[in-house]
Amino acid sequence: MKRHFKIEFFEEPKLELYYPKDFTFKQKHQYAAFGSALEEAVFLTHPDGRNVVRISTGLRAALELPDFISSISLFENGEILFLGPLIGIYTSGFTPKQLTPIGPRSDLIASSMSVHRALGAVPFLFGKEHIDWENGCIHGFFHTEEGWKKSTVPFPSIVMDRLPKRSSENRHKSVLLKQKFENDYLISWYHPGFFSQLELYEKLYNDSRAEQYLPETHPFISFSSVGRMLDDYGHVFLKGDDGHAACQLLYHPKERLYYCRLFDQTNKLLKFKSLEGFSRRVYGRKQLEKFLVQQGIRLIRKENKAVDFHVVVNHNNTWEADTIKVKYAYEQNGTNELSFEDVFQDEEERNKNLEKLKKAASEIASAIEDNIGGILTGMKLELGIDRDGRIWLLKAEENCDPALFPHPELGHTDYLTKRLAGAFLLRSNKTLENELVLSKQ
């Protein structure tokens, strides 16, 4: 059924909407919704059978529909007709310049927004400073044929997280914002950015699908807790909350010395008489408190170097491993790629480990989706295999789909737009519908 139609506004203070000729509805609608805005309206069929959505200026103002929108998609759920979806693209780095609101990135995001717009979605750009919590609206930036325009709209149906990679990941505020949108307003969050590894591990520990793959991981609390883990595992890794390994710590009981391998350009191996000495010389106590301490794992090796497996997992009705690359673990540039044949010469062993990795990736991805929230279409997992053949999750992150930014392809974006709209309608179940209706009484 056709869902995407041209839109026209006509002068009329009453809240009215004329259905386009080709839109087949299951039942008569009572409410019109745009993002989080909901208004009771009168729905009519076109007297002249035109195939456009005609909306009165009264309804446009009540829903805070920008008057420069030229087309829109229609979705229905019970008595509610949804216009959109209204997609908020959340980012940072805004400038005072109207022509380039986010500087050099403006053109890249504008080109992607144009594809979503062509499919009937209504995308806009915003940062935390543009949110009006008191009035439940956002002063967002829209890209039109005339350039960027600023307009006030309701809270969106969906939020797409587009914070610049790593550089602006002052993620604590972003996580709080995500939780507020999802928990208080039932607004789905797409691409949650990088996963907080601490949050990830804490939530997955209670999921039977994933717990078998999780190394012991804690925030740095004290030197005694690090010492206990060194006693248990022989070595540990200090990692940032993005999962990037900063160094490896080892304890040599016969020498009574601590060794530290730095994972930077120097790749230095340092030794210390105490953990306190390590702290004073390398990171300092305040910097250490930003790290996670993770159980050391004796990974399988090639040419006396540990190897790990980088698995791209995509959602095709179920979570499936798309590609698996083998690399030397903890290398700074990470460009040296191996083949499965390099690591597993025996065909039977190779096939067995390939299936184990695929199974682990599917189970971990399913657990992440259910526990972390947001809308995900892809993930990148770093998995390890220890010398006993056990699979471990070393790192997980959201896979930023190159089909979306900066060069989107229509086919994939069409799929994504439908997935976004579907996710919103999923949130707009009968319970939510009743809450919305009650809020209007």
CATH of the domain at 239: 3.30.720
- Is 439 among the domain residues? no
* Domain-terminating residue out of 33, 54, 86: 86
**Is residue 124 domain-shared with residue 245, that is, in the same domain?**
no
**Is residue 248 domain-shared with residue 364, that is, in the same domain?**
no
Q: How far apart are CA 301 and CA 81, in angstroms?
A: 58
Domain that includes residue 367, residue range: 198-214+299-398
CB-based contacts of 354: which residues, under 8 Å, 6+ apart? 324, 340
In this predicted structure, which of 84-88, 95-99, 377-381, 417-421 has the lowest mean pLDDT? 417-421
Mean pLDDT of the 108-121 span: 82
- Is 430 among the domain residues? no
**Res. 425: pLDDT tops 70:** no
In this predicted structure, which of 12-16, 25-29, 233-237, 371-375 has the lowest mean pLDDT? 371-375
- Is 438 among the domain residues? no
CA 204 to the chain's CA centroid? 17
Q: Report the percentage of the chain scoring pLDDT > 70.
A: 85
**Res. 415: pLDDT tops 60:** no
Tell me what pLDDT residue 83 has: 94
**Is residue 390 domain-shared with residue 303, that is, in the same domain?**
yes
Residues 403, 409, 412, 415, CA torsion sign: positive
Q: Are 19 and 72 in contact (CB under 8 A)?
A: no
In this predicted structure, which of 23-27, 369-373, 399-403 has the lowest mean pLDDT? 399-403
**Res. 389: pLDDT tops 90:** yes
Q: How many structural domains comprise the chain? A: 4
Of 134, 135, 190, residue with least CA distance to 158? 190
Q: Which two tokens stand for residue 87?
A: 């997609």
**Res. 405: pLDDT tops 70:** no
- Is 434 among the domain residues? no
- Is 433 among the domain residues? no
Average pLDDT, the chain: 85
**Is residue 176 domain-shared with residue 113, that is, in the same domain?**
yes
**Is residue 10 domain-shared with residue 74, that is, in the same domain?**
yes
**Is residue 269 domain-shared with residue 289, that is, in the same domain?**
yes
**Is residue 237 domain-shared with residue 184, that is, in the same domain?**
no
Q: Is 27 exposed, middle or buried (0-12, 13-18, 19+ CB in 10 A)?
A: exposed
Mean pLDDT of the 250-259 span: 94
* Domain-terminating residue out of 86, 109, 134: 86
**Is residue 306 domain-shared with residue 393, that is, in the same domain?**
yes
Tell me what pLDDT residue 334 has: 59
**Is residue 224 domain-shared with residue 278, that is, in the same domain?**
yes
* Domain-terminating residue out of 295, 321, 346: 295
pLDDT, tens only, 285-339? 778 888 999 999 999 999 999 999 999 998 878 899 999 999 999 876 656 789 9
- Is 435 among the domain residues? no
**Is residue 117 domain-shared with residue 179, that is, in the same domain?**
yes
| Confidence band of 2 (pLDDT split at 50, 70, 90) | low
Sequence letter at residue 335 = T
Q: How many CB atoms lie within 10 A of CB 349?
A: 13
pLDDT, tens only, 160-214? 888 775 444 455 667 788 889 988 988 888 765 567 888 889 999 999 999 999 9
**Res. 403: pLDDT tops 50:** no
* Backbone conformation region of residue 272, classed left if phi is above 0, alpha if psi is from -120 to 50, else beta: beta
Q: Are 95 and 102 in contact (CB under 8 A)?
A: yes
Q: What is the pTM of this model?
A: 0.69
**Where residue 393 sits, what CATH number does that domain have?**
3.30.470.20
Q: Which two tokens stand for residue 101?
A: 């609101």
| Confidence band of 1 (pLDDT split at 50, 70, 90) | low
**Is residue 343 domain-shared with residue 208, that is, in the same domain?**
yes
- Is 37 among the domain residues? yes
Q: How far apart are CA 19 and CA 2, in angstroms?
A: 12
**Res. 430: pLDDT tops 50:** no
Q: Which two tokens stand for residue 48?
A: 């002249």
Q: How many CB atoms lie within 10 A of CB 438?
A: 8
Mean pLDDT of the 349-357 span: 96
**Is residue 364 domain-shared with residue 306, that is, in the same domain?**
yes
pLDDT, tens only, 121-170? 899 999 999 999 999 999 999 999 899 999 999 999 888 888 775 444 45
Q: Over the chain, what HEC string results?
A: CCCEEEEEEECCCCCEEEECCCCCCCCCCCEEEECCEEEECEEEECCCCCCEEEEEHHHHHHHCCCCCCCEEEEEEECCEEEEECEEEEECCCCCCCCCCCCHHHHHHHHHHHHHHHHCCCEEEEECHHHEECCCCEEEEEEEECCEEEEEEEECCCEEEECCCCCCCCCHHHHHHHHHHHHHHHCCEEECCCCCCHHHHHHHHCCCCCCHHHCCCEEECCCHHHHHHHHHHHCEEEEECCCCCEEEEEEEECCCCEEEEEECCCCCCEEEECCHHHHHHHHHCHHHHCCCEEEECCCECEECCEEEEEEEEEEEECEEEEEEEEEEECCCCCCCCEECHHHHCCCHHHHHHHHHHHHHHHHHHHHHHHHHHCCECCEEEEEEEEECCCCEEEEEEEECCCCCCCCCCCHHHHHHHHHHHHHHHHHHCCHHHHHHHHHHCC
Beta-bridged to residue 324, according to DSSP, are 311
- Is 36 among the domain residues? yes
Tell me what pLDDT residue 67 has: 94
Tell me what pLDDT residue 169 has: 47
